[in-house]
Amino acid sequence: MILLAALLALPLIGGIFAAMLVNSKLSRAVAICALAANCVITFYAYGLDATAPWISSLGAGIHLRLDGFSFVLVLLANVLTLLAVCYSAESHKRREGLFLFLLLTTLSGIIGVFMAFDLLLFFLFWEVMLVPLYFLLLLFGEEQRQKAATRFLILTQSSGLILLISIVALYVLSGGTTFDYVDLLARQRSDVDLVVSLGFLLAFLVKLPALPFHIWMPSVFTNTPVSALMTGILIKTGAYGLMRFYVPLFPDVTSEIAPYLMILGMIGLIYGSLAAYSQKDIKKILAYSTIAHVGLILAGIFTQSSIAFTGVAVLLVTQAIGTGALLLICNHVYASTHSRELGRFSGLFASMPNAGVFALMFVMASVGLPGLGNFVGEYYVLLGLFQTDWRIAVVATIGIVLSALYMLRFMHRIFFGEQSGVHQPSDLSRGSILVFSILIAIVVFIGFYPSLLIDTVSRSWGG
Amino acid sequence: MTDFFSALPILAVFISVLLVMLVVVAYPRFSYPLHLAAIGVFAALVLVVISLLRYERETSEFFAFFVGDTFSKVTQGALLAATLVVLVISREWSSVTKDRGHAYAILLLISLVGAMALVMSTHFLSFFISLELLSIPVYAMIAYEIRQRRALEAGLKYILLAGFSVAILLFGAALIYAQTGSLQFEVLAEKTLDTLGFIGYALFFVGIAFKVGLVPFHMWLPDVYEGAPLPVTAFLATVSKGAVLFFLVRFLSLVGMDGIADVVSIIAALSVLSMFLGNILALKQNNLKRLLAYSSIAQVGYIFIAILTSDSHAVLFYVCAYFVAVLCALFVITLTSHFDIEKESIRSLDALYFSQPRLAIALTVALLSFTGLPLTVGFLSKFFLLTSAAYAAQWSLAISLIVSSAIGFYAYFKIILAMATRSNLSMLPRARTRPSFSELTILVLTCLILALGVWPQPLDDVATAAALESSDPT
């Protein structure tokens, strides 16, 4: 219990201390210490399960568990935040403390989401992580940050409230004694499960974001501050919710609606790819590429097969890393060229070779080159899809091929070609090179030795 | 001894009324009437706590008029605590307007006596006297800044509408009496009703709806909130409204709702209307007090979910949580609107995150509690409402609660956005140094919102202990 509580509390306490310190270097040091300690604790807390009473009149308890799947995601969130803090070293001289505080409290919420095994507790973290993130966007984002932040908050909050109704309905239908996930799994199935499950589905699809609910995503991506690494992990909570809660809690409903959602995923994959190809804004390309990837993830989840689940878990990790890294590179390009429009500048490779090399690596990963982590995930998902429905798998394969199209265009138009339109070309600093090296090392490691990750996550669904 | 202890808190407040009167008469230059009142209120609060701890489960009746049970003790405690904070807010205000606040302290205490008696009432006679004792001093408090036009206007509006509503309420009580031959709530439960009794109950509830500002009887509320001085607004929003709501819970638990099902369904419709209208109209407001007024209309709509599903535990929890949040918000607004420029408007909060970050954070926490975001006590209180609606299978009420809360987001986040925006106005110097005691109070309120949002067990236990027995939702 203490270790699991520490995982939640440490970023929060570190954040509060960081906010109170005036010296920005000192507060960053505090934050880095807290995050590093949290990474270590994550290893010790692996496999723990703890319960404690919370609100007795509702029967809600505190139930935290760190199984394989949760462990991987918690560790990933920790590492990415740690790297984000290291990376942000150059950009937030003023208000550093506030920035760190918001970043670390968001992390606390995300870790809570990944560990909560009590539905009320889960909902609490689910909503809570959005508030600091909203303020991060609002206070540290780029030009259109107000619009982006408000749209993001309204959409996710409203869907969250519908999730709340569903949770309460599930609670009352199961007898009104417990919110505990394990107990609710064993409940009597009821006729209205379909209606109840819709609230869960909606909330998770908005967070993913699956196709009709993706409208908050591009504006958040384009206005996101240096906490880009955070955005990568945040949207993984939607997929986590579907895999952890939706599919196990409503197995009958899932099989019933699975075909429709796989088709929705495929539409998202193709639409996202085509939309990414037609974007001018370099960050929007990444946003739509994420929407495309999410389509694949959605289809993978609704195969309900443990092979596809494993693939999705790998994809969650590698995409969080890849998208975050590419967003950071875009931020760097924007800082040097003051433009995000494709065509305004080209041939940056000559002036920033390091950034170019890293960009190329992450683009390759995103395209699904064998030997890099994404390939493993995509392979497993496609395997699962083939076992379920070969037509879907064919469409998915075409979608993956499309990703090469827009990602290579992205790479080509920014870094290659005639050098032009650059005002203050400056390459990555030494610190950023370290950050990117660690990220690419993780992706390569997963690509060459995936069994460690796969064994860890697949224990969560007995694969 | 139990009887004595149940009556002691209200006596303590009454004695402090007399004490303040005597001191003020003896020393016309006495400049600490608010402090004296606060001591009296605090003593009463201590007595409530003692009697709760010593005589937890014992109930004492005072003839047929009043009853001193755990419910009345806990609600009195909540009213006293809210009054204490209102007194701290009043200190800020009277120090600005150079008023010693002699009459103000006396009026406030008398009104508090009425509120405390109201939650103990079990008879139409005691109810009526307590209600008037609660309301009449408030007329004067609203119009306390007699030179200010809008205060005078607000006071007059409140007098007229309150008088009107009391007349309706009395007529309703008379009709109920004509039908049942009794003014005692417990006796009413056993009688069956015909049309006349039904009309009586309907009129009675119209009167109550006026008092708490349920749509469509809410018209006076925004004007009065806006016109009244800030501490009086705080008093209206907490003590005056809370006492009536607490009373209504007791009334319905004694009378029972089976006999008046038709009236109940009408009130349910009105509460849904309140939720939506309150939140939608809050969107358009630029004056902070008006915005909070509309938000309080919506909140009353929410509370009626629990009242109608006779879940007194949820009502207690919600009202206490609302007290904390609204006092915190109004306190911050009091401290930020000292200047005449853009007084009490949203623009007076421009760039507050940068000029006064501590106040800005406190106000943000209070607003997040209004929206019902997790980790604030507002979330759990809404959650209790949702579960009580779900238990009673009132899904339409539950969904209205959710949808209207989502609308409310916009209104509250408008304020939060304003606090994050820089404008020319924010270049004005914020010269006044605040007394640290006020900041401490705000800090305590903010921490309460967050602490109870994470660990609600203490408040939950109190509310469970105080919940009226006849109203268990089974």
For B194-237, how does the pLDDT look when each residue is reduced to its tens digit (9 = 90+)?
888 889 999 999 999 999 999 888 889 999 998 888 899 999 99
| Residues of chain A positioned with their CB less than 8 A from the CB of B375 | 124, 128
CA angle B18, B20, B24 (to 5 degrees): 120
Tokens of B421: 């925006």
> Which member of B374, B399, B460 has the closest CB to residue A57?
B460
Answer whether B379 sits within 8 Å of A124, measured CB to CB: yes
- pLDDT above 70 (res B342): no
| Residues of chain B positioned with their CB less than 8 A from the CB of A124 | 374-375, 379
> Which member of A124, A165, A171 has the closest CB to residue B374?
A124
For residue A272, which of A156, A390, A405 has the smallest C-alpha distance? A405
Answer whether B420 sits within 8 Å of A153, measured CB to CB: no
Give B129 to chain A, closest Cα distance, Å.
36
Q: Give yes or no for a contact between A73 and A236, defined as CB atoms under 8 angstroms apart.
A: yes
**CA dihedral defined by A335, A339, A342, A348, rounded to 10 degrees?**
-40
Answer whether A127 sits within 8 Å of B373, measured CB to CB: yes
- Per-position pLDDT tens, chain A of length 463: 888 888 889 999 998 888 888 777 888 888 899 999 999 999 998 888 888 888 888 888 899 999 889 999 999 999 988 888 887 655 555 677 888 888 898 899 999 999 999 999 999 999 888 888 888 888 777 777 778 888 888 888 888 888 988 998 888 888 878 888 888 888 877 788 888 899 999 999 998 888 888 888 888 877 776 556 667 777 788 999 999 999 989 988 999 899 999 999 999 999 999 999 998 888 888 889 989 999 999 999 999 888 899 999 999 999 888 888 888 888 888 877 777 787 777 778 878 888 889 999 999 998 888 888 899 999 999 999 999 888 999 999 999 888 888 998 888 888 887 777 656 667 778 888 888 999 999 999 999 998 889 888 888 876 5
> Which member of A125, A139, A172 has the closest CB to residue B391?
A172
The residue of chain B with its CA nearest to that of A163 is B402
CA angle A270, A271, A272 (to 5 degrees): 90
The residue of chain A with its CA nearest to that of B465 is A57
**Phi, psi (degrees; rounded to nearest 5) at B123:** -150, 145
A52 membership: H or E segment, kind and range: strand A49-55
Answer whether A139 sits within 8 Å of B386, measured CB to CB: no
Answer whether A165 sits within 8 Å of B398, measured CB to CB: yes
pLDDT at B75: 94
- Any idea which of A423-432, B308-317, B349-358 has the lowest mean pLDDT? A423-432
> Which member of B379, B390, B409 has the closest CB to residue A169?
B390
pLDDT band with cut points at 50, 70 and 90 for residue B413: confident
Give A54 to chain B, closest Cα distance, Å.
7
Give B469 to chain A, closest Cα distance, Å.
15
State percent of chain B over pLDDT 90.
46
DSSP A189: P
pLDDT at B29: 82
A49 membership: H or E segment, kind and range: strand A49-55
Whole-angstrom distance, CA of residue A449 vs CA of residue A392:
28
Tokens of B17: 């009324």
Query: What confidence tens digit (pLDDT) does each residue in B90-115 have?
Result: 888 766 566 677 888 999 999 999 99
The residue of chain B with its CA nearest to that of A157 is B406
| B96 interfaces chain A, CB cutoff of 8 Å | no
| B460 interfaces chain A, CB cutoff of 8 Å | yes
- pLDDT above 70 (res B2): no
Question: What Å distances lie between residue A371 and A222, A360, B146, CA to CA?
Answer: 30, 14, 81
> Which member of B374, B386, B417 has the closest CB to residue A127?
B374
Side-chain-facing half-sphere of B329: CA atoms under 13 Å: 32
| Residues of chain A positioned with their CB less than 8 A from the CB of B456 | 55
State percent of chain B over pLDDT 70.
92
| Residues of chain A positioned with their CB less than 8 A from the CB of B399 | 165
Answer whether A127 sits within 8 Å of B380, measured CB to CB: no
- The SS3 of residue A118 is strand
> Which member of B368, B391, B399 has the closest CB to residue A165?
B399
Q: How many CB pairs under 8 A join A and B?
A: 73
Give the best residue of A94, A140, A161 to mutate against chain B (max B CB count within 10 A): A161
- pLDDT above 80 (res B258): no
| Residues of chain B positioned with their CB less than 8 A from the CB of A162 | 402
Q: How far is CA B32 from the centre of its chain?
A: 26
Answer whether A168 sits within 8 Å of B457, measured CB to CB: no
Answer whether A158 sits within 8 Å of B409, measured CB to CB: yes
Give B457 to chain A, closest Cα distance, Å.
6
Peptide bond into B357 cis (omega under 30): no
The arithmetic mean of pLDDT across residues B50-60, rounded, is 80
Query: What confidence tens digit (pLDDT) does each residue in B123-149 have?
Result: 999 999 999 999 999 998 998 887 778
Name the interface residues of A facing B (CB cutoff 8 Å): 54-58, 120, 123-128, 131, 135, 138-139, 146, 150, 153-154, 157-158, 161-162, 164-165, 168-169, 171-172, 176
Answer whether A57 sits within 8 Å of B313, measured CB to CB: yes
Q: Give yes or no for a contact between B45 and B84, defined as CB atoms under 8 angstroms apart.
A: yes
Q: Give yes or no for a contact between A423 and A337, defined as CB atoms under 8 angstroms apart.
A: yes
Query: What confidence tens digit (pLDDT) does each residue in B415-447 have?
Result: 888 887 765 554 544 545 556 788 899 999 999
Answer whether A168 sits within 8 Å of B313, measured CB to CB: no
Q: What's chain B look like in SS3?
A: CHHHHHHHHHHHHHHHHHHHHHHHHHCCCCCCHHHHHHHHHHHHHHHHHHHHHHCCCCCEEECCCEEECHHHHHHHHHHHHHHHHHHHHHHHHHHHHCCCCHHHHHHHHHHHHHHHHHCCECEHHHHHHHHHHHHHHHHHHHCCCCCCHHHHHHHHHHHHHHHHHHHHHHHHHHHHHHHHCCCEHHHHCCCCCCHHHHHHHHHHHHHHHHHHCCCCCCCHHHHHHHHCCHHHHHHHHHHHHHHHHHHHHHHHHHHCCCCCHHHHHHHHHHHHHHHHHHHHHHHCCCEHHHHHHHHHHHHHHHHHHHHHCCCHHHHHHHHHHHHHHHHHHHHHHHHHCCCCCCCCEHHHHCCHHHHCHHHHHHHHHHHHHHHCCCCCHHHHHHHHHHHHHHHCCCHHHHHHHHHHHHHHHHHHHHHHHHHHCCCHHHHCCCCCCCCHHHHHHHHHHHHHHHHHHHCCHHHHHHHHHHCCHHHCCC
Greater pLDDT, B188 or B204: B204
| B283 interfaces chain A, CB cutoff of 8 Å | no
The residue of chain A with its CA nearest to that of B455 is A54
Query: B457-468: string of b/e by CB count within 10 Å (b at 16+)?
Result: eebbebbebbbb
Phi-psi sector, B353: left (phi>0), alpha (psi -120 to 50), beta: alpha
> Which member of A120, A138, A162 has the closest CB to residue B402?
A162
Give the best residue of B275, B409, B446, B454 to mutate against chain A (max A CB count within 10 A): B409
pLDDT at A37: 93
The residue of chain A with its CA nearest to that of B374 is A124
Whole-angstrom distance, CA of residue B412 vs CA of residue A404:
44
Query: A205-215: string of b/e by CB count within 10 Å (b at 16+)?
Result: bbbbbbbebbe
- The residues in B 382-411 lying below 8 A from A, measured between CB atoms, are 383-384, 386-387, 390-391, 398-399, 402, 405-406, 409-410
ipTM rounded to 2 decimals: 0.83
Give B428 to chain A, closest Cα distance, Å.
21
| B374 interfaces chain A, CB cutoff of 8 Å | yes
| Residues of chain A positioned with their CB less than 8 A from the CB of B405 | 161
Phi-psi sector, A180: left (phi>0), alpha (psi -120 to 50), beta: beta
Answer whether B374 sits within 8 Å of A171, measured CB to CB: no
Give the best residue of A54, A94, A131, A166 to mutate against chain B (max B CB count within 10 A): A131
The residue of chain B with its CA nearest to that of A125 is B374
- pLDDT above 90 (res B17): yes
pLDDT at B5: 79
Identity at A271, one-letter amino acid code: Y
Query: What confidence tens digit (pLDDT) does each residue in B359-405 have?
Result: 888 999 999 999 888 889 999 999 999 989 988 888 889 989 988 98
| B223 interfaces chain A, CB cutoff of 8 Å | no
Give A27 to chain B, closest Cα distance, Å.
18
Q: How many CB atoms lie within 10 A of CB B432?
A: 10
